[in-house]
Amino acid sequence: MGFIIRILLTGAAAMLASYLLPGVEINGFLTAIILALVLAVLNAIVRPVLVFLTIPVTILTLGLFLLVINAVIILMADWLITGFDVAGFLSALLFSIVVSIVVAILDMIF
């Protein structure tokens, strides 16, 4: 049950972020839910591999390179989902930051 609520919160956060950021478009709430599912799968499978491969850079940048990894995962989701469009790397970076903040706030509320 917690996974479903987390997916719904992430979908709502993605919709809010798409309204706030000019370089991100989501075609509907169903696309936002699909985006949340794809992001969950990518974060479970691809993110640990990327984190492991970039440990030296992450240590060198004091963990800030993890933001780049998040943006790369958003760009992968853009490539996989047809109703989700991100203008570029900076838009993906800002989108990942906004979604993370909104999900954290919504998680505290619910």
Q: Per-residue pLDDT tens for 24-61?
A: 999 999 999 999 999 999 999 999 999 999 999 999 99
Q: What is the domain extent for residue 82?
A: 2-109
Kindly indicate the confidence band of residue 2, based on its pLDDT and cuts at 50, 70 and 90: confident
The Cα 90–Cα 84 span in angstroms is 16
Average pLDDT over residues 66-85: 95
Alpha helices in 21-84 (DSSP H): 29-53, 55-60, 65-80
The CB density around residue 11, as the number of other CB atoms within 10 Å, is 23
Q: Which two tokens stand for residue 67?
A: 């933001």
- Quote the number of domains for the chain: 1
